[in-house]
């Protein structure tokens, strides 16, 4: 019988604890679970490098190729550009761009270009100053954000302590660091 590696078990424990938590601010793994549910069957979620990108890469449950995209290097505006390109190719595809912090100039430029093309791009920004909402409200908000006719920009405060549990389970996060 094949045994699960100890690291995989530790990561799963942290991820699954977040899935079942109803606390606010929301646990990051709970947020990525909501993304999976909202974008199932052909949707796309793309995240810029940063804490939101880490959580998407580590805990988003994918069932299809190219359902979740995270860049190999910090590239401002990357997530929103992914959603724009996806919508150009498939205008009705549910999609969401996720980033940490605030809107940067590159992301603003992509959103302006999308508006000029008549394409809606939904963006959720993870920020300590973001909206503190519960699981049901977050799921309800994702519907319009991922909809090709609505889109928009929203903020979300996520629990900043779940990352400590991941670091304890797997070590320091080294993604996107110079030389990593």
Domain spans of the chain? 6-20+27-170
Write the CATH number of the domain with boundaries 6-20+27-170: 3.40.50.970
- For residue range 78-117, list pLDDT tens digits in order: 999 999 999 999 999 999 999 999 999 999 999 999 999 9
Residue 2 — very low, low, confident or very high, per pLDDT cuts 50/70/90?
A: confident
CA pair distance 67, 180, nearest whole angstrom = 25
Say yes or no to pLDDT of 180 above 50: no
More confident residue, 93 or 177: 93
More confident residue, 179 or 94: 94
- Sheet containing 122-126, strands listed edge to edge, beginning at the edge strand earlier in sequence: 68-69, 44-47, 95-100, 122-126, 152-156
Strands 152-156 and 122-126, how do they pair? parallel
- For residue range 23-68, list pLDDT tens digits in order: 999 999 999 999 999 998 899 999 999 999 999 999 998 888 889 9
């Amino acid at each position: 019988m094949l045994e699960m590696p100890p690291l995989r078990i530790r990561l799963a424990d942290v991820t699954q604890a977040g899935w079942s938590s109803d606390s606010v601010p929301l646990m990051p793994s709970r947020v990525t679970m909501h993304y999976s549910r909202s974008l199932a069957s052909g949707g796309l979620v793309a995240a810029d490098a940063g804490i939101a990108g880490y959580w998407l890469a580590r805990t988003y449950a994918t069932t299809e190729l190219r359902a979740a995209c995270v860049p190999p290097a910090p590239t401002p505006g990357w997530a929103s550009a992914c959603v724009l390109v996806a919508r150009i190719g498939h205008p009705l595809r549910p999609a969401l761009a996720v980033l940490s912090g605030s809107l940067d100039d590159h992301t603003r430029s992509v959103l302006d270009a999308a508006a000029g093309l008549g394409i809606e791009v939904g963006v959720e920004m993870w920020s300590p100053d973001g909206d503190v909402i519960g699981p049901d409200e977050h799921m309800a908000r994702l519907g319009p954000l991922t909809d090709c006719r609505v889109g928009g920009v929203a903020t979300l405060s996520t629990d900043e302590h779940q990352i400590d549990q991941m670091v304890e389970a797997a070590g320091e996060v080294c993604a996107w660091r110079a030389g990593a």
